[in-house]
Amino acid sequence: MKRLLLFALLAALVLPGWAQDEMRIDFINLLRPRVTGYALNLNQNLRTTDSPAFAGLTLSGPITLPDGSVSSPVLHGTSDIDTGIYWITGATRFTFNGASVAQFNFGGLYLFDGYYISLYDTTITREDTNVIQLSADAAAPADFTLKAADGSGTDKPGGDFILAPGRSTGTGAGGDARIATSTVGSTGTTQNVLYDRIVAVGKVVSLVNNSDTPLFSVACADGNGVGGYIDYDAEVKDGTDVQVESGIVTFSAVNKATETWTTDIDKGTLSSALSGSTLTVTCSLDTATADTLKFIFKSNSGLTPTSTMLRYQIHLNSPQVITIL
């Protein structure tokens, strides 16, 4: 009987100076938890919609919650109980309608397949493995600009924009920088293939003096043609003298049928700076491999080279596949 009277008094308690509707604590519910040391273990859900409700809750220590699951997140709203937050080992996950959509872990933010980042009216999506896309496919797709920062203030310069492939280490080859476009195909809904138009080759080619070196090949099946050019920089050293030649070489080829080829190659504008002796650069096209055009480079120096290095870019105006050799 004494306990019943105590509970009734506590449940009806109003402190001096408080309005009746400001007494928001349900003392009977507060007597339900059990205290172990300094940890308060609740035996029921704590909700701000309970009546009487909590107008605010201030804690001075950590809150320990169960992990929850993808279908039953531990933190969720009342209107959608399978949308919220749950935990796995080493990660905090977000679930939407019972499906994991994103997680934070030591590596940062991870989005599950099919979800995207939205920057106001611009979305960043995953198209394929290691392929990201701005916005979604559409009958009238939007145009996008990726730019560096503008200057701010009077007479301030704009920021530089640097597009760079991956860096190599030691004697490894640097990554290639490529610009690709698709070409017109047959009528239909299938998206056309992307073909390289400009390739800044990261590989620095080591040449053997006065020997042919294949640089790249271009696929060219029967009834097709290839056209483009390279710009190059060849550098020869012998420990004392240095020779450098820079130039442009245009080329074209037609594979009429069953390996019936017509080819043409021309050296255009070039410049040579030679500290000694002579340097002759020649280029040729090889069609010995079926449906394949190979570009051959040769550097013939009058020095006794200790090194001959070549750097180059490819510009291809034909919808054909390039392979760096």
Q: Is residue 26 part of a domain?
A: yes
Q: Is residue 4 part of a domain?
A: yes
221 shares its domain with 295: yes
- Write down the pLDDT at residue 39: 42
Q: Residue 205 sits in a domain of what CATH number?
A: 2.60.40
56 shares its domain with 86: no
For residue 38, what are the domain limits? 1-62
220 shares its domain with 289: yes
- Write down the pLDDT at residue 57: 63
**What residues are paired with 189 via a beta bridge?**
none
Half-sphere exposure for 182 (CA within 13 Å, toward CB): 8
Task: Measure the CA–CA gap between 194 and 175, rounded to whole angstroms.
Answer: 19
Task: Measure the CA–CA gap between 315 and 234, rounded to whole angstroms.
Answer: 18
Number of domains comprising the chain: 3
Q: Is residue 103 part of a domain?
A: yes
Q: Is residue 188 part of a domain?
A: no
- Other C-beta atoms closer than 10 Å to the C-beta of 168 total 13
Q: Is residue 193 part of a domain?
A: no
Q: What is the pLDDT of residues 59-97, one digit of tens each?
A: 677 878 888 888 989 888 888 888 999 998 989 988 988
DSSP-assigned states of every residue in 275-320: SSS-EEEEEEEE--STTEEEEEEEEEESS--SEEEEEEEEEE-SS-
Task: Measure the CA–CA gap between 298 and 253, rounded to whole angstroms.
Answer: 19
204 shares its domain with 306: yes
Task: Measure the CA–CA gap between 268 and 251, rounded to whole angstroms.
Answer: 10
Task: Measure the CA–CA gap between 8 and 303, rounded to whole angstroms.
Answer: 107
Task: Measure the CA–CA gap between 27 and 9, rounded to whole angstroms.
Answer: 10
Q: Is residue 271 part of a domain?
A: yes
Which among 62, 93, 113 is the end of a domain? 62
Q: Is residue 19 part of a domain?
A: yes
309 shares its domain with 216: yes
- Write down the pLDDT at residue 15: 42
217 shares its domain with 230: yes
7 shares its domain with 102: no
- Write down the pLDDT at residue 55: 54
89 shares its domain with 5: no
Q: Is residue 295 part of a domain?
A: yes
Residue type, 131: V
Q: Which helix (H) or strand (E) is 117 found in, with range?
A: strand 117-119
Question: In the chain, which stretches have pLDDT less than 70?
Answer: 1-59
List, in sequence order, the alpha helices (H) in 45-162.
none
CB 283 within 8 A of CB 297: yes
